[in-house]
């Protein structure tokens, strides 16, 4: 028996564990609080980590490379060797590249159980810019807005000095449920700092807030502009920071004049007093803001809201200030930008970019502008995330209406038939490809229609190096405990071997992920073994970096064209956007004709939100774990009591949601939330069913993405963000009874 340090992979924290290993098999695991995140309570409250032993050799795991043996989705597979699988995939990709161009292959990614840069490196060196994922609705809007305003990204620095914390569009009690949530509970118990939660639902997080702002979906930008109005009108801003370090304050002050508390209150569905109270509370600096996908997924309003957020932080002097928000530092270790090799293939990638002329910021041109300013300070944002192809444009290329055809796709760590908008369109596009390769642990609905399914090494079978998206001098993770069971392989090994077959041999010098990470860590002086023992690499992040002298003895300032925080962006204005944040419209899923037809049949037109997490699941993951399904067996749609009465609904009723794109059924749950709004569970499918055509694990019954769209029409124009919040749908109580229900808790295992 041997004890080895390793990590869980079931959320982004990658908590440290001690694994008991006997004859190459893990026979026991125990939390290791001596490594990141260094908090025993995190794991004491986590339901996921005990899964590690169960799933290591679960009967539903994919253990060997599989090749489709029948029609797509037939469930007929042939077990083949790794050499055969990679040879055939590489040959097919190279033939398609010769027939068309290097953009012929796309990648579709997710997380958190993967290392993105090996896939990105393969795609860059192959010459394809067409990686798509969830960046435009998760992470990218915040990174773009921070970089436009400050020249780099920021993170909240919550200390005893912090006076007010705004938690905006996120529910860490469900989406995080560990380190940050435990920290919030401690703050609540201590009564400091003051906590404001902005959410249409009275979530578990909102229940511990000093102020819950039950705002209408999509009104976020208007609310932020109202806060700015109060702070400027009442002269609560940090006059010294504004005068020394902000550009565009006069324009901003003029811009927010119309957003007085009463006007904002009417637009947001709250009281004018609440607008004023939150503004005054936040102005007690230092204060900070934490945001989530609730504001990353509001279509036209996403970038304006984030830009208003950066202005709020800046005018109150909360930038690079203890207790406010600190500018992150670029990494001492090899940057994500260098690991992904984008710059090596910049010319071909930018030439083939589908986003060119479509999403001016989320593009190679947009990235190049920011890079010019950042290069002065040696900052290096990752490029593949911030130039990733818009799904609408990628689907058009798959459908044959793009500037060139996309005929192949590699899917890693995601299940696009459940998690990507417009399920029917995604299915048709993927079925039409010449080659579909999926790396996964299980036969998901997407894997079921693949030509090849490659078995990925999972938790404790592969090493981890989580580098915070490539925007910080911080990385955490550790070693694998055992060699992968059966014939599973790490994503690094898969893409290296595939790259070697596609002419990339000179760009993959390291035979293993561990060796590649040791090379990346070399500039820090820390070797791989030392990193694994510590479980992280982190250096102090001093505040007030903008005040430090540069080589000429002048204050360093910010990595923006003006050297200051840019409250008004002439660059965005030049791209056809607004120099200042202007509120946009909601995302319409229902045509007027459809609304009128359904209203004539007794349906009601409601605002739809989705994407909220629900423990112990994470998006579409872990629904195949029997204890979790017994705990939460049904897909829910939440409404307020008043909305339920208007619909004639009771808790437990079947309810049908419809848009022009399709219909989905849920079970009614009545909670405290904004009236006239319905919140539908996200990522729902039925792994206990046969995962093959035509039903594909029940993805058409309660999958909210049957209703959604990712069309650029109505999306945020600079980044291309579509919506999972502030949409619309038609709703009616009733419909067919859900095929799968409470009897799921009596099932001991899944087929």
Q: State the Cα–Cα distance between residues 352 and 365, nearest whole angstrom.
A: 12
558: which 2 tokens? 């910010």
Instruction: Determine the average pLDDT of the residues in 198-212.
Output: 97
Instruction: Determine the average pLDDT of the residues in 445-450.
Output: 98
489: which 2 tokens? 């392989």
Architecture of the structural domain at 66-135+332-461+485-509? 3-Layer(aba) Sandwich (3.40)
Instruction: Dump pLDDT digits (tens) for 80-92.
Output: 999 999 999 999 9
Cβ atoms of 589 and 707 within 8 Å: the answer is: yes
Confidence of residue 114 (pLDDT cuts 50, 70, 90): confident
**Model-level pTM?**
0.95
Instruction: Give the per-residue pLDDT at 259.
Output: 98
Instruction: Give the per-residue pLDDT at 722.
Output: 95
Q: State the Cα–Cα distance between residues 157 and 356, nearest whole angstrom.
A: 36
Instruction: Give the per-residue pLDDT at 468.
Output: 85
Q: State the Cα–Cα distance between residues 213 and 673, nearest whole angstrom.
A: 10
Instruction: Dump pLDDT digits (tens) for 318-341.
Output: 999 999 999 999 999 999 999 999
Residue 406: what are its φ and ψ, rounded to 5°? -110, 120
Give which of 249, 46, 219 is closest to 674, Cα–Cα: 219
Confidence of residue 740 (pLDDT cuts 50, 70, 90): low
Cβ atoms of 171 and 341 within 8 Å: the answer is: no
Which of 1.10.3260.10, 3.20.140.10, 2.40.40.20, 3.40.1710.10 is the CATH number of 592-746? 2.40.40.20
Q: Under 8 Å CB-to-CB from 213, ≥6 apart: which residues?
A: 196, 197, 198, 199, 223, 268, 270, 274, 278
Instruction: Give the per-residue pLDDT at 550.
Output: 86
Instruction: Dump pLDDT digits (tens) for 459-480.
Output: 999 999 999 888 999 999 999 9
pLDDT surpassing 80 at residue 376: no
Helix or strand (DSSP H, E) at 613: none
Instruction: Give the per-residue pLDDT at 112.
Output: 63
Instruction: Give the per-residue pLDDT at 372.
Output: 83
Confidence of residue 745 (pLDDT cuts 50, 70, 90): very low
Helix or strand (DSSP H, E) at 346: helix 346-352
Q: State the Cα–Cα distance between residues 221 and 305, nearest whole angstrom.
A: 4
pLDDT surpassing 70 at residue 742: no
Q: State the Cα–Cα distance between residues 482 and 480, nearest whole angstrom.
A: 6
722: which 2 tokens? 């579509």
Asked if omega into 694 is within 30° of 0 (cis), the reply is yes
Helix, strand counts (H, E) of the chain: 28, 27
pLDDT surpassing 80 at residue 749: no
Instruction: Dump pLDDT digits (tens) for 539-575.
Output: 999 999 999 998 889 999 999 999 999 999 989 998 8
Instruction: Give the per-residue pLDDT at 371.
Output: 85
Length of the chain: 751
696: which 2 tokens? 């594909």
Instruction: Determine the average pLDDT of the residues in 607-624.
Output: 91
pLDDT surpassing 50 at residue 709: yes
Q: What is the CATH number of domain 154-327?
A: 3.40.228.10
Which range is least confidently modeled, 45-49, 63-67, 326-330?
A: 45-49
Residue 452 sits at the vertex; the CA angle it makes with 448 and 457, to the nearest 5 degrees, is 90
pLDDT surpassing 60 at residue 392: yes
Higher pLDDT, 496 or 571: 496
In a 3-state reduction of DSSP, which class is residue 530?
Answer: helix
Q: Do 154-327 and 66-135+332-461+485-509 fall under one CATH topology?
A: no
Q: State the Cα–Cα distance between residues 132 and 129, nearest whole angstrom.
A: 9
Cβ atoms of 277 and 211 within 8 Å: the answer is: yes
pLDDT surpassing 60 at residue 741: no
Confidence of residue 127 (pLDDT cuts 50, 70, 90): very high
Domain locations in the chain?
2-56, 66-135+332-461+485-509, 154-327, 592-746
Helices (H), ranges, 45-165: 51-56, 82-99, 116-126, 140-150
pLDDT surpassing 80 at residue 261: yes
pLDDT surpassing 90 at residue 36: no
Q: State the Cα–Cα distance between residues 166 and 285, nearest whole angstrom.
A: 12
End-to-end CA distance of the chain: 33
pLDDT surpassing 50 at residue 751: no
Give which of 490, 465, 489 is closest to 476, Cα–Cα: 465
Radius of gyration of the chain, Cα coordinates, nearest whole angstrom: 25
């Amino acid at each position: 028996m041997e004890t080895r340090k390793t990590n869980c992979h079931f959320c982004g924290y990658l908590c440290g564990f001690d694994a008991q290993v006997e004859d190459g098999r893990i026979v026991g695991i125990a939390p290791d609080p001596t490594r990141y995140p260094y908090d025993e309570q995190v794991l004491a409250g986590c339901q996921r980590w005990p899964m590690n032993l169960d799933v290591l050799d679960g009967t539903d795991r994919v253990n060997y490379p599989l090749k489709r043996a029948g029609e797509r989705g037939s469930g007929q597979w042939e077990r083949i060797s790794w050499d055969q699988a990679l040879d055939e995939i590489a040959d097919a990709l190279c033939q398609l590249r010769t027939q068309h161009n290097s953009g012929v292959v796309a990648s579709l990614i997710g997380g958190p159980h993967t290392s993105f840069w090996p896939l990105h490196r393969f795609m860059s060196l192959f010459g394809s810019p067409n990686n798509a994922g969830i960046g435009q609705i998760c992470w990218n809007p915040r990174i773009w807005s921070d970089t436009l305003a400050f020249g780099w990204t920021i993170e909240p620095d919550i200390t005893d000095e912090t006076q007010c914390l705004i938690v905006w569009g996120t529910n860490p009690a469900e989406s995080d449920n560990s380190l940050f949530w435990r920290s919030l509970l401690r703050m609540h118990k201590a009564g400091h700092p003051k906590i404001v939660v902005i959410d249409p639902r009275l979530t578990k997080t909102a229940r511990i807030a000093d102020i819950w702002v039950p705002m209408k979906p999509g009104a976020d930008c208007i609310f932020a502009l109202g806060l700015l109005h109060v702070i400027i009108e009442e002269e609560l801003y940090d006059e010294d920071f504004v005068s020394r370090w902000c550009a565009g304050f006069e324009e901003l002050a003029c811009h927010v004049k119309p957003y007085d508390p009463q006007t904002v209150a009417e637009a947001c569905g709250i009281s004018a007093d609440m607008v004023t109270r939150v503004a005054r509370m936040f102005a007690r600096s230092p204060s900070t803001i934490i945001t989530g996908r609730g504001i990353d997924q509001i279509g036209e309003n996403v970038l304006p809201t984030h830009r208003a957020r950066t202005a709020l932080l800046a005018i109150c002097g909360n930038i690079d200030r203890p207790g406010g928000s600190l500018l992150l530092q670029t990494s001492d270790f090899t940057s994500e930008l260098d690991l992904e090799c984008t710059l090596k293939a910049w010319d071909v990638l930018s030439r083939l970019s589908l986003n060119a002329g479509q999403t001016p910021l989320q593009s190679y041109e947009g990235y190049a502008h920011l890079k010019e300013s950042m290069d002065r300070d040696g900052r290096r944002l990752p490029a593949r995330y911030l130039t990733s192809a818009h799904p609408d444009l990628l689907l058009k290329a798959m459908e044959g209406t793009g500037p060139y055809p996309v005929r192949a796709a590699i899917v890693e760590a995601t299940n696009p038939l459940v998690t990507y908008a417009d399920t029917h369109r995604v299915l048709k596009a993927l079925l039409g490809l010449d080659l579909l390769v999926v790396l996964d642990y299980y036969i998901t609905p997407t894997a079921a229609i693949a030509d090849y399914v490659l078995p990925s090494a999972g938790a404790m079978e592969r090493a981890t190096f989580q580098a915070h998206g490539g925007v910080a001098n911080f990385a955490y993770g550790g070693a694998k405990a055992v060699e992968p069971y059966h014939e599973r392989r790490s994503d690094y090994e898969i893409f290296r071997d595939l790259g070697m077959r596609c002419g990339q041999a000179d760009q993959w010098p390291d035979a293993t992920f561990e060796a590649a990470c040791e090379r990346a860590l070399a500039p820090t002086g820390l070797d791989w073994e030392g990193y694994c023992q510590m479980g992280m690499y982190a250096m102090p992040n001093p505040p007030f970096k903008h005040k430090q002298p540069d080589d000429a003895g002048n204050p360093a300032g910010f990595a923006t064209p003006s050297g200051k925080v840019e409250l008004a962006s002439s660059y965005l204005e030049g791209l056809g956007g607004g120099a200042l944040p202007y509120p946009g419209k909601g995302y319409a899923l229902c045509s007027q004709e459809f609304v009128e037809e359904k209203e004539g049949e007794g349906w009601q037109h409601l605002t739809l939100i989705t994407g909220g997490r629900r423990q112990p699941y994470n998006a579409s993951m872990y629904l195949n774990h029997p204890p979790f399904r017994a705990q939460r067996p049904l897909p829910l749609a939440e409404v307020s009591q008043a909305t339920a009465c208007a619909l004639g609904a009771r808790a437990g009723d079947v309810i049908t949601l419809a848009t022009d794109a399709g219909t989905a059924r849920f079970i009614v749950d009545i909670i405290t939330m904004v009236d006239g709004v319905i919140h539908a569970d996200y990522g729902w499918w039925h792994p206990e069913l046969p995962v093959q055509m035509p039903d594909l694990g029940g993805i058409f019954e309660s999958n909210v993405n049957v209703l959604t769209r990712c069309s650029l029409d109505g999306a945020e124009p600079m980044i291309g963000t579509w919506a999972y919040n502030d949409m619309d749908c038609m709703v009616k109580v009733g419909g067919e009874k859900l095929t799968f229900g409470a009897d799921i808790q009596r099932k001991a295992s899944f087929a």
